[in-house]
């Protein structure tokens, strides 16, 4: 569960988050809003890259504001970035392994199992020994998700994982994201512009509109909210709800 209380972030004259208070407790939570709405900034606050001017954030009842970014992995916080962080000259296996080297495991076997398990979970086992530079955009996004699943995650934050994907690729991504709470016992926080992906995956969705909360609730209700449609979306009467 993520609890955010009176959160304010300021960069000079810009306030990308302005007095945000919300509690997010469903297994897969969506975050949508126009470009510049403060979505990535919120992820940066959660992962410790940005220090808020005011307010606090709790993960599963524990205050995380003030905990340095490098210690947040130990609290189970994981994220992917809009620009992926795959090392070009390492293989897929080595890329995921590099994350496991910083996590705590009972044995080497347990570590290997976690690495192979995460790669298999995202469907990339056939690409194990491919160099990062030889992976497609889709494969790189999936590899980033595999990395985020290593070492007991509690919250997996995905920043536009569907960007640049075809419809078929996005369908696979959908299955992967939906499987995360069951596979990793972690909550998922998903930012994406693809409303089909959001509505298929997210039990609840929040809409940010230039630093303020515009809406929060069951995804379909939120997407049909006239204010949300006016601010951000078109008409989405034919969407299907997340299972």
Ligand X SMILES: Nc1ncnc2c1ncn2[C@@H]1O[C@H](COP(=O)(O)OP(=O)(O)O)[C@@H](O)[C@H]1O
Work out what residue 38 binds among ligand X, Mg ion, none; the CB cut-off runs from 5 to 8 Å by kind: ligand X
For the bound state, the minimum distance from the C-beta of residue 30 to ligand X, rounded and expressed in Å, comes to 13
For the bound state, the minimum distance from the C-beta of residue 38 to Mg ion, rounded and expressed in Å, comes to 9
DSSP letter at 187 equals: E
For the bound state, the minimum distance from the C-beta of residue 205 to Mg ion, rounded and expressed in Å, comes to 16
φ/ψ of residue 68, rounded to 5: -60, 145
- 77 vs 91: CA distance, rounded Å: 24
Task: Write out the binding residues for Mg ion, residues 175-214 only, by CB under 5 A.
Answer: none
Nearer to Mg ion, 83 or 235 (CB): 83
For the bound state, the minimum distance from the C-beta of residue 202 to ligand X, rounded and expressed in Å, comes to 16
Nearer to ligand X, 14 or 69 (CB): 14
Work out what residue 168 binds among ligand X, Mg ion, none; the CB cut-off runs from 5 to 8 Å by kind: none
Nearer to ligand X, 96 or 216 (CB): 216
CB atoms within 10 A of CB 110: 12
Work out what residue 41 binds among Mg ion, ligand X, none; the CB cut-off runs from 5 to 8 Å by kind: ligand X
Task: Write out the binding residues for Mg ion, residues 18-47 only, by CB under 5 A.
Answer: 39-40
Going 148 to 154 to 159 to 164, the CA torsion angle's sign is: positive
Q: Are 144 and 160 in contact (CB under 8 A)?
A: no
- 55 vs 211: CA distance, rounded Å: 14
Q: What would the two tokens of residue 76 be?
A: 């189970």
Q: Are 135 and 127 in contact (CB under 8 A)?
A: yes
Nearer to ligand X, 50 or 96 (CB): 50
Helix (H, G, I), strand (E, B) or coil at 236: coil
Nearer to Mg ion, 43 or 100 (CB): 43
For the bound state, the minimum distance from the C-beta of residue 12 to ligand X, rounded and expressed in Å, comes to 7
Q: CB nearest Mg ion: which residue?
A: 40
Q: Are 57 and 45 in contact (CB under 8 A)?
A: yes
For the bound state, the minimum distance from the C-beta of residue 27 to ligand X, rounded and expressed in Å, comes to 23
Using CB under 6 A as the criterion, which residues of the chain lie in contact with ligand X when the complex forms? 11, 14, 16, 33, 35-41
- 148 vs 99: CA distance, rounded Å: 8
For the bound state, the minimum distance from the C-beta of residue 80 to ligand X, rounded and expressed in Å, comes to 13
Closest to 192 in 3D by CA, of 223, 221, 148, 225: 223
Work out what residue 33 binds among Mg ion, ligand X, none; the CB cut-off runs from 5 to 8 Å by kind: ligand X
Work out what residue 11 binds among Mg ion, ligand X, none; the CB cut-off runs from 5 to 8 Å by kind: ligand X
CB atoms within 10 A of CB 204: 18
Q: Which residues bind Mg ion (CB under 5 A)?
A: 39-40
């Amino acid at each position: 569960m993520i609890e955010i209380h009176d959160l304010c972030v300021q960069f000079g004259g810009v306030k990308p988050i302005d007095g945000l208070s919300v509690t997010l407790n469903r297994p897969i939570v969506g975050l949508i809003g126009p470009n510049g709405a403060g979505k990535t900034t919120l992820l940066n606050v959660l992962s410790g890259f940005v220090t808020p001017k005011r307010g606090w954030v709790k993960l599963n009842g524990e205050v995380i504001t003030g905990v340095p970014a490098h210690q947040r992995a130990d609290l189970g916080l994981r994220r992917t970035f809009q620009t992926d962080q795959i090392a070009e000259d390492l293989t897929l296996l080595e890329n995921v392994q590099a994350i496991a080297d910083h996590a705590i495991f009972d044995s080497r076997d347990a570590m290997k199992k976690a690495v192979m398990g995460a790669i298999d979970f995202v469907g990339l086992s056939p690409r194990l020994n491919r160099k990062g530079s030889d992976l497609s955009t889709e494969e790189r996004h999936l590899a980033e998700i595999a990395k985020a699943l290593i070492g007991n995650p509690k919250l997996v934050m995905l920043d536009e994982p569907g960007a640049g994907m075809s419809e078929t690729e996005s369908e696979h991504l959908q299955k992967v994201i939906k499987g995360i709470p069951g596979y990793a016992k972690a909550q998922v926080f998903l930012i994406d512009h693809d409303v089909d992906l959001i509505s298929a995956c997210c039990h609840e969705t929040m809409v940010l509109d230039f630093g303020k909360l515009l809406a929060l609730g069951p995804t379909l209700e939120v997407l049909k909210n006239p204010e949300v449609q006016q601010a951000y979306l078109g008409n989405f009467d034919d969407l299907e709800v997340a299972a």
